[in-house]
Amino acid sequence: MQKIKYLFVISIALLLVSFDAVAVTVPPNVSPRWLLENIHKPDLAIIEVSDEGSFTFDGHIPGSTFTRKGDWRYMAADEALVHYPVHQLEAKIRRLGVNDSDGVVIYYKGNNTDEILGAFYLFWLFHLMGHTNVGMLNEGWHGWLGIKGPIEEKNEKIKIGHFSARPLLALEISTDELSKIHEYYLLVDGRPESHFKGLTKFQANSRYGRIPGSVNQPWQDYMRKDAAGRWYAKAPELPRLLKRMKIVPLRPILLTCLGGTGAAFNYAMFYMAGFHNLRVHDAGLRRWNLRHLPLENTNLHGLQ
């Protein structure tokens, strides 16, 4: 098991490397007030995860560009949803106007929970691409409106950036590796509690149950809804699972869910809380179940 442990140590070391001098250092959990105070810095890139209609007609944070959750994932041959290859991700980030030396702030509108999942997934993708000077706007658009932050409606032409990917591949774990090592590490499943217990499942999931030995930290724990019906995520000081289990920050943690975005949600929330020894199972239980790997279950659907 020494080689496996070594990968975790490498992941931490790489996250601490600064590849470029940056004029603005972005905290992982960005307060709306911090963004307001730094919004005019030339080396700050701001990205909204929503759709073109909302970005244009509802307005957006000045200087921001927009993307969709679906822009970053595709369906593989086995029907698992996974991120695009590194060279394609690099090109997509450049098209958002991001440069190597930029600090990045990501936010979402919150018209639906998919936008929020997409925003947190993008946070993890930036880390995976070696760009850790990135933060999530706490409470997203809801938080920005809460401080009466400025809004613009014009869509500026985007100047292609010169972002270069320097992948931190240890931040991801394949299904093959997960099947071999999951029993030796803390494995956190980000699905809703009823799915984790095997009582219900997403329609896209072919089987009930959970990976043996896994524990549950639902991404829904972070979700809130405002008076206008808009969704937003509130970062806790310490996620419920980590607090209950008294997990120490250096402990290696594997993260999974059905299809990657819930695992990335936990990645961001754990990272913000000071837990950086993390690996995301992007293909999730979609691929695990397609390969008929072992599950444990707690209801009458039966062990599968």
The CATH number for 83's domain is 3.40.250.10
Asked if residue 46 belongs to a domain, the reply is: yes
Let me know whether 135 and 175 are in one domain.
Answer: no
- Give the pair of three-digit tokens for residue 225: 């809804």
Residues 246-295 have pLDDT tens digits of 999 999 999 999 999 999 999 999 999 999 999 999 999 999 999 999 99
pLDDT higher than threshold 50 for residue 304 = no
pLDDT higher than threshold 70 for residue 200 = yes
Let me know whether 78 and 188 are in one domain.
Answer: no
Lowest mean pLDDT among 23-27, 122-126, 162-166, 256-260: 23-27
Distance (Å, whole) CA 188 – CA 278: 10
How much is the average pLDDT of 150-158?
91
Judge whether 245 and 188 are in contact, CB under 8 Å: no
pLDDT higher than threshold 90 for residue 135 = yes
Let me know whether 193 and 95 are in one domain.
Answer: no
Please state the three-class secondary structure of 200-238 as a single string. CCCCCCCCCCECCCCEECCHHHHEEECCCCCEEECCCCC
Asked if residue 8 belongs to a domain, the reply is: no
Judge whether 83 and 127 are in contact, CB under 8 Å: no
pLDDT higher than threshold 50 for residue 238 = yes
Q: How confident is the prediction for the chain on average, in pLDDT?
A: 92
Distance (Å, whole) CA 71 – CA 74: 8
Asked if residue 237 belongs to a domain, the reply is: yes
Residue 197 domain boundaries: 169-290
DSSP-derived 3-state class of residue 186: strand
Asked if residue 12 belongs to a domain, the reply is: no
Beta strands per DSSP E along 140-185: none
Domain C-terminal end among 146, 181, 210 = 146
Asked if residue 120 belongs to a domain, the reply is: yes
DSSP-derived 3-state class of residue 192: coil
Beta strand 81-83 with 73-75: parallel, antiparallel or unpaired? antiparallel
pLDDT higher than threshold 80 for residue 14 = no
Domain C-terminal end among 96, 112, 146 = 146
Residues 72-84 have pLDDT tens digits of 999 999 999 999 9
Nearest CA among 201, 219, 197 for reference residue 210: 197
47, amino acid identity? I
Percent of the chain with pLDDT over 70: 90
Let me know whether 247 and 185 are in one domain.
Answer: yes
Domain C-terminal end among 146, 180, 210 = 146
How much is the average pLDDT of 153-164?
92
Distance (Å, whole) CA 134 – CA 277: 17
Give the other-Cβ count within 10 Å of 123's Cβ: 26
Nearest CA among 71, 90, 168 for reference residue 128: 168
pLDDT higher than threshold 80 for residue 193 = yes
Residues 87-105 have pLDDT tens digits of 999 999 999 999 999 999 9
List helix spans (H) across 16-76: 32-38, 52-57
Let me know whether 173 and 271 are in one domain.
Answer: yes
Asked if residue 72 belongs to a domain, the reply is: yes
Can you give the pTM of this predicted structure?
0.92
More confident residue, 156 or 255: 255
